[in-house]
Chain A
Amino acid sequence: MNSPATATSEPGAPAPPADRPPAVRRLPLDVRHLSLIGVLAALAVVGAITKPDEFLAAENLRLVLTQASVIGVVTVGVTFVIIGGGIDLSVGAVVALASVWATTLATQDFGLGGMLLCSVLVGVGCGLVNGLLVAYGPMVPFIATLAMLASARGLALQISDGRTQVVTVDAVLDLGVKDSYVLGVPPIVLVFALVCVLGWLLLNRTTFGRRTVAVGGNPEASRLAGIAVRRQRLLLYLLSGLCCGIAAFMLVILTGSGQNTNGNLYELDAIAAAIIGGTLLSGGRGTILGSVLGVLVFTTITNLFALNNLQTDIQQIAKGAIIVAAVLVQKGRSTP
């Protein structure tokens, strides 16, 4: 990005000797991220010891990344909403609705492009309703998105009639098979990586990101500073809806179908990943990298449990324990 040198060349702003370049002061990785990376490394060690042949196999690592991709894209959107002082409980249901709508026989007639467009539009449409209710209703985000959770899930059931809608469009199915891999990486994972990079840029390098942080940190001060707070809130829910639409299409590629049970409990996984990644539930602070690490930790745990044939109930307990531990660690650090 901009080198600190440009700052000092600014006329009328002499560089004082006490100035440290900002790059040194704020390392790209903060301690919280390092501890999450530590957890990931520990999990990898556990995997390498318990299942040395299987865990580190390229095929398994691809699987972990692929599984992380869908929920990961959702989490990026949710992270923005939470940093902006809101919450989005509807993401799982919106993923289900978008995946079902994109795989109806009528939509499949339009081929890959039509299905993708449909998925994205459904996501953005749900985001628009959420955003209008929260920003201009105004309704408490928890309630507005809870209502969307129920309605979107219901609509998904109504459209699909509870059946799995199998995709027959080859162009879509091809994106899920090995031939489509780029340098050994599935396209879905590439999309996830792209969303992360764009999300990071949006949060850290644009006015949109700056306003998100401001509105989440102190909505009243933001309003009095001249920020259009309501419009910002609306945009945040649109963004979350967009991410859901993208994630839904990734899921369609991955499963070759659309179902009304897709995205079950994604809202909890996404919020939990953001929180253990250091995003403040009250808004105003959070990072994309932290959320991505949070997603990877959860996905790796799931993978380890599956490889070792452990039940999902134990897995859920472990997840809960990790959330508690991560929040306690953060609390301990933030109080002097």
Chain B
Amino acid sequence: MPLLTMSGITKSFPGVRALDGVDLDVEEGEVHCLLGQNGAGKSTLIKVLAGAHQPDGGEIAWRGERVRLPTPVSAMRLGIATIYQELDLVEHVSVAENVFLGHEIATRGLVRPRAARARTAELLARLGHPEIDPAALVGSLSAAGAQIVSMARALSHDVRLIVMDEPSAALDPDEVDNLFRIVGDLTADGVAVVYISHRLEEIRRIGDRVSVLKDGRVAARDLPARSTPTDELVARMTGRDARQVFPRRSAQDAPRAEPVLVAEGLARAGEFEPLDLELRPGEIVGLAGLVGSGRSELLETLYGARRPTAGRVLVDGRPLRPGSIPAAVRAGLGLAPEERKSQALLMLESVTRNVSVSSLPRFSRGGWLDRARERAEARSRTRELALSPDDPERPVRTFSGGNQQKAVLARWLLRGCRVLLLDEPTRGVDVGARAELYAVIRRLADSGVCVLLVSSELPEVLGLADRVLVLREGRVVHAAPSHELDEHRVLDLVMESTPE
């Protein structure tokens, strides 16, 4: 008998049928992978399972008995824990208090912090992270550390099923290894894991069975995780063949034009050491490195969001005012930051207004906006990038991750940007939409924009960039045309002499 059986689950939101008769069964001790593009219904399904959403129809059975999950607490009582992508931790509170949030260890209403800390230390040790101090504030931890705390919280209940929503998105390769070891330990104890990830190679490493969701329905189930060909998985997710994801590079192999952006001895104490950098029109330069290698910091320093401690940045030979974003934007720089929702988008606003926000003076005379022109120009840029649905007046929050990223790119396209800094441009973007974004980025480069690309996904850096810089602990340890590199070589360079 399966541990969990969901059958015929339906759920509608105003205007959208998010789930349309979805079946899912999960056995004890298996890693059940859930695949699907953004908007396919994965998040809704796991929220139904977590008791956060109520289904409109369908049945949920737990060990063969029909159950209802009216609240998150009722799901937790059964032994279902969910680790969301956006971790739900309280930053200003200690690790131990977070782990036992809502089910504090207490006698007669008085909490027993020492007992909670001791128990938390046990859980952290079991998760392979005894170095995390149960008394430390969660806000002081890295993304990986916070995720371990989230997992410790799940284990602090008597958990039988853990749902993990893109747990590896914010992790470095060695942290991903640790995550997989934990998953292995859990399943050996008979705990079932529902694993959501966009990275197919991870599913191959730890998955048992795969279910694919598409448009709120099950597009495929019971696929063996290790042996189903990638092409087939992608085809099931997208409904079309998605080989050849990376666009062909332009014919001229080495751009000869004068560099647009030059960094000379640019450095920030404690983040990255002095480095030189040249970006030429039409060129995509990739920055490979671990989280914490200084790659995001370098991007933000070029952009003026951080003030360099040494060196300078020149655009067209003229030095930029250090530490001034408006100066950088005026000189033609644009940044698509790592955290799209919190750093790039005005979530309450329409796509049009998100696109126009950096170019307002263009549509105004004496501060007075020409809104018709604003709409028309924003629209022509979103058209160029094939925004879907093609309705930029809709709130940006109703668009998928890939299309939200297009809105950010359209912002810089409209600004007439000449140097595009992309920090993890495909994070949270599903496989089908990624290929489309890659094509957009390549097209921008072909039109003469220079692109500096940071990505944790090596295939992306190698497949898209013309030239790759490898960053390790704040130093450029290698620079080469991407066709001279392969994943193993870059991984070696990235990991070499790292502690542990």
Contacts and interface: CB of A to CB of B under 8 A. Distances in A.
Contacts, number: 103
Contact of B346 (A6, A22, A217): A217
B343 to A, nearest CB: 5
B371 A225 contact: no
Interface stretch (A32-40, A138-146, A201-209): A201-209
Given A207-B360, A226-B326, A221 B371 contact: no
B367 A22 contact: no
A218 B367 contact: no
B376 A226 contact: no
A224 B305 contact: yes
B325 interface: yes
A223 B14 contact: no
B367 A206 contact: yes
A7 B376 contact: yes
Contacts of B358: 225-227
Contacts of B330: 226
B369 A207 contact: yes
Nearest to A22: B393
B325 A205 contact: no
Given A221-B344, A222-B357, A336-B14, A206 B364 contact: yes
Interface string A225-242: 111100000000000000
Nearest to B368: A206
A210 B353 CA distance: 8
Contact of A221 (B303, B329, B345, B369): B345
A228 B326 CA distance: 7
A224 B357 CA distance: 11
A31 interface: no
A38 B70 CA distance: 36
Contacts of A206: 364, 367-369
B337 A224 contact: yes
A1 B344 contact: no
Nearest to B367: A206
Interface string B358-384: 101100100111111101110110010
Given A13-B380, A208-B367, A222-B357, A6 B343 contact: no
B411 interface: yes
A225 to B, nearest CB: 5
Interface of B: 13-14, 303, 305, 325-326, 328-330, 335, 337, 342-349, 353, 356-358, 360-361, 364, 367-373, 375-377, 379-380, 383, 390-391, 393, 411
17 contacts: A13-B379, A205-B368, A206-B368, A207-B367, A213-B353, A218-B347, A221-B342, A221-B346, A224-B325, A224-B335, A226-B326, A226-B329, A226-B330, A227-B326, A228-B326, A284-B348, A336-B14
Interface of A: 1-4, 6-7, 10, 12-13, 16, 18, 22, 25, 205-208, 210-211, 213-214, 217-218, 220-228, 284-285, 336
Given A12-B380, A207-B369, A225-B357, 12 more contacts: A2-B372, A6-B373, A7-B375, A206-B368, A206-B369, A208-B367, A210-B357, A214-B346, A221-B345, A222-B357, A224-B343, A226-B329
